[in-house]
Chains A and B, each alone.
Chain A
Amino acid sequence: MAEKHLYLSLIPQALIGSMLEPEAFGSYYAVGAKAHVKGEAIFFEVDPAFRSEDFPFHLMDERCITQPDGAPKRSVYLSIYRVLSRIPVSALGNLYLVTNDGKTLELPRSVYLPEPGGRLHLYQEFCPITPMVASRSEPHDFCNAITDPSHPVHVPRLVFSELRIGELAVDPQNGAADDLPYTNLAHLRDVLYELKYNDTKPSKLVLKQVKEGVLYRMVQGGFYVGDQTDFAFYRFPDHDELENRYRGWWRSAQVTALE
């Protein structure tokens, strides 16, 4: 009997029960059973012992069972709305990044060491909202601020990553930016400039919604999930490590989609 897994998908949000191992689930979730679709995915493995009144876990016993033909059950959706906010960070296991092509990279939790301040940051949020935000705050402080319920604009819990901005991190006005892939670089410069020199706010919106998917090549540090009480860091391998240890995933992650 195959083990049952719980997965928290972030794009789109869903809590899914499955008898597939994470890598097989990632492939299935991205390209489907017949590989006729494609689409990036990010998901956490959730502690299988996690239980909550918020979700119909009885469906796991009823439906997440071996199929009559002997095949493992691939997916049983338990919820598709406000899922992240109802699962504590402590219940989240490894993070899985899945390419369009269905290749899965596993990221275990790492120790987070805050970086000394002084530079500017750019964050791509994945769940529950998907904007791009510039900030003076390092990741932990940023997460604290955005999940602060006393602030009118907040979310209960957030998954995000930091993106490289090269020289703009210290010199938004004159720093070289030609090789950055972000749309509307002039606007990004303006926002960073305001943050550095004028604005009193710690963070400013750069883009309401990122449509290009995950810019893995630009990920700096790694991925973060947190709220007011808990914070977890998933280190993203550096480019050499990606090239040498995770080449299959890395090559797939860099394929350009034209549509």
Chain B
Amino acid sequence: MNEPVFWIAPIAALLALVYARIFFKEMLRQDEGSALMREIGGHVSRGAMAYLWQQYKIMLAVFLALAAVFAVLAYHFHVQSTWLPATFLCGGFFSALAGYFGMRTATQASTRTAAAARTSLPDALRIAFRSGAVMGLVVVGLGLGNIVFWFILASLLIPGSDTGETHRMVLITTTTLTFGMGASLQAMFARVGGGIFTKAADVGADLVGKVESGIPEDDPRNPAVIADNVGDNVGDVAGMGADLFESYVGSILAASALGAAAFMHDPSLQIKAVVAPIVIAGLGILLSILGVYLVKTKEGADQKQLLDALGRGINSSAAMIVVVSLVFLFLLGMPNIWGIWGAVIAGLVSGVIIGRSTEYYTSPSYSPTRRIANQAEGGAATLVIAGIGVGMLSTAIPVLTVGAGTLLAFLFASGFDASQMNQGLYGVGIAAVGMLSTLGITLASDAYGPIADNAGGNAEMSGLGPEVRARTDALDALGNTTAATGKGFAIGSAALTALALIASYVEVIRMELIKAGTTVLQLGHGGTVPTDTATLTDFMTYYSVNLLNPTVLVGVMVGAMVAFAFSGLTVQAVGRAALLMVEEVRRQFREDPGILQGTSQPDYERCVAISTLGAQREMVLPAVLAVIAPVLTGLMLGVAGVIGLLVGGLSSGFVLAVFLSNSGGAWDNAKKHIEAGHHGGKNSRAHRAAVIGDTVGDPFKDTSGPSLNILIKLMSIVAIIMAGVTVSYSWL
């Protein structure tokens, strides 16, 4: 590799895995608590592993089948990269591996966090957060490690061509993009399956346990209580991890591909542009590790001090990447250093603003959620209406932020010259990388949430003392805040990554056209341009990608529809899976009265199995929709239609994801606000309305909303992967 700084990336990836192992071992050395605590933790751990094993078996079958299809397309029909079958399997495998490590760590850490909370809040925070950091560091370590591996392999194996070194680099970067397909499909299964599992268990546990039988939350008599705890890990550890693994990998690969395209005129600059996002990600890893060590607090810390402790780690990493990335760009000798650095900042700042906006709209400390709680006094209907209204309004700031971030990144990187389309889009890719550069620590704060939540559940079920529950409650409340912010961050990064992927799509089309023998583009009015030097504008002209082209418009409408249909499918899936859980919990109560009397143990495993099977069965259709939509659109409407589909899907999917996540989060916290004693508190009429609102919002915020992140990225990556098929077999 000609750029020595490139090696920062593999070293950082390796260090991430080393530190993940150190934190994991450190966690394992901690006291696991009493026999009862271990038994409860064991139930959750076995349930989580049983879920993962079941999901991975199904995924293996799907992945092998798709790899075979890709192999046929690549080796028989020659409309596919020959690398795809291998990169596809590899992407899926490593994303799944990250999920496995994260889940294994989280489920073992929650018992130890509860055990540490018996004596010390700082120790409990340290165990929970560093265990969360295992997930964060494994995701970035495996993600960046794979990117580096495939990049080096592609550089070694892809030969030079007649069109020169710059063309070869475009080929290398578009080839490595295929790694994203496996990660993306794995993320879809993890997010949708995890989302359905967690909400089926949650709704089932609440409806029969709390509402019908009148037993409290986290009561060991509830057969679904372990499934509920498993669900927290399945959704917020494995699901969120796979989601961000995909965003992380996708943003770096897309930025590299866009960099290769933007600097085709200069091979020495081109390699710098390709390497820059990879190295910035590597620097982000090093600073994330540093940030993890800054998260500490003192005994008796209040909520604000705990939040400050977490903020110190995350914000320090973000502040340092601002400085370090500038120094790195200087050392690399990139052109327009300040512009590219501005794009990094635009991405970082966008992430922070979206996180803050999510917190504003979903936290009970602010007026939107309090207004929803206020509406609860009018009953469930007014509360639901208020939540929908807040959810819709909450879309404004994230959309405008991503819009502003995109425009600024584009303008900074293009030197405020709109005609420099390629450089500008490279800036957009860099912005996505900037937003995700410190993912190691931001994901740690996400994965920390379910660990603290499960620790609280363990403390409750083990009957630990009030001072212990006070500590786990403080950690849990902190986790709720970080989870809300994390969801906003995941949505924002998904939107920016998808945008970068759409831009990369055109580069892949270029390669496929060349492969298919189209060396010259006919631009109308008799004009022509060589395919390998054509600009993005030339491609838009060639494919008539404009708003008056009906295929584009139809694509946009279909894309918007797919986001809604996908959400509908996932919401309905939760309802069906939850009904199975409700029936199972009722059956156990009916057939064994000793369960409610506390004299016999419920069959926890059966509930975990029901949620698992429900999730596996229900996740197939939404996943098929996400994969099939770009393929069919490509065949029927061609490249213009696919671009329309991706734009429509991104626009509506992004807005819908923010709406669903924030309305669900706001309903949840409006209930918590009422439970804190406002508007009559627990058992009041307002509380009953809030419980209904929270239940309605459950599949919104934890299934459909987060799954839309994957949809918009997966459709882009499928479009990229199937570009060869679209170019060769499109009817239009």
Contacts and interface: CB of A to CB of B under 8 A. Distances in A.
B374 to A, nearest CB: 8
Nearest to A31: B596
B371 to A, nearest CB: 13
Contact of A252 (B214, B589, B597): B214
B692 interface: yes
Interface string A169-187: 0000000001111110000
A252 B307 CA distance: 31
B691 A252 contact: no
Nearest to A39: B214
A257 B677 contact: no
Nearest to A99: B214
Given A183-B685, A258-B691, A38 B213 contact: yes
B215 A255 contact: yes
B590 interface: yes
A94 interface: no
Nearest to B680: A181
B211 interface: yes
Contacts of B589: 35-36
Given A34-B593, A255-B215, A182 B680 contact: yes
Interface in A201-239: 212, 215, 217
A123 to B, nearest CB: 18
B679 interface: yes
Dominant SS among interface residues on chain B: helix
Nearest to B690: A256
A62 to B, nearest CB: 28
A258 B688 contact: yes
B687 interface: yes
A39 B634 CA distance: 61
Contacts, number: 79
Interface in B466-486: 466
Contact of A258 (B211, B595, B684): B211
A180 B377 CA distance: 11
A217 B681 contact: yes
Contacts of B595: 35
B211 A252 contact: no
Contacts of A63: none
B678 interface: yes
Contact of B678 (A34, A100, A179): A179
A86 interface: no
Interface string B343-373: 0000000000000000000000000000000
Interface string B568-590: 00000000000000000000011
A161 interface: no
Nearest to A244: B466
B34 interface: no
A33 interface: yes
B685 A181 contact: yes
Given A180-B680, A215-B683, A33 B593 contact: yes
Contact of B682 (A100, A183, A217, A259): A217
Contact of B590 (A36, A38, A257): A36
Nearest to A258: B211
Contacts of B685: 181, 183
A180 B687 CA distance: 12
Given A27-B597, A34-B593, A35-B589, A179 B681 contact: yes
Contact of A256 (B219, B677, B688): B688
Contacts of A33: 593
B530 interface: no
Interface in B653-699: 677-688, 691-692
B578 to A, nearest CB: 15
B403 interface: no
B274 to A, nearest CB: 57
Interface in A3-38: 27, 31, 33-36, 38
A106 interface: no
Interface in B31-66: none
B21 interface: no
B623 to A, nearest CB: 34
Find the residue from A217, A252, A255 having the highest chain B CB count within 10 A: A255
Given A100-B214, A255-B210, 17 more contacts: A31-B596, A35-B589, A35-B595, A35-B597, A36-B589, A102-B597, A180-B680, A181-B680, A181-B683, A181-B687, A215-B683, A243-B466, A251-B217, A251-B219, A254-B683, A256-B210, A257-B683
29 contacts: A31-B597, A33-B593, A34-B593, A35-B213, A35-B593, A35-B595, A35-B597, A36-B593, A38-B214, A101-B214, A101-B596, A179-B677, A179-B680, A181-B679, A181-B680, A181-B681, A181-B683, A183-B685, A243-B466, A251-B217, A251-B219, A254-B682, A254-B683, A255-B215, A256-B687, A256-B688, A256-B691, A257-B211, A258-B688
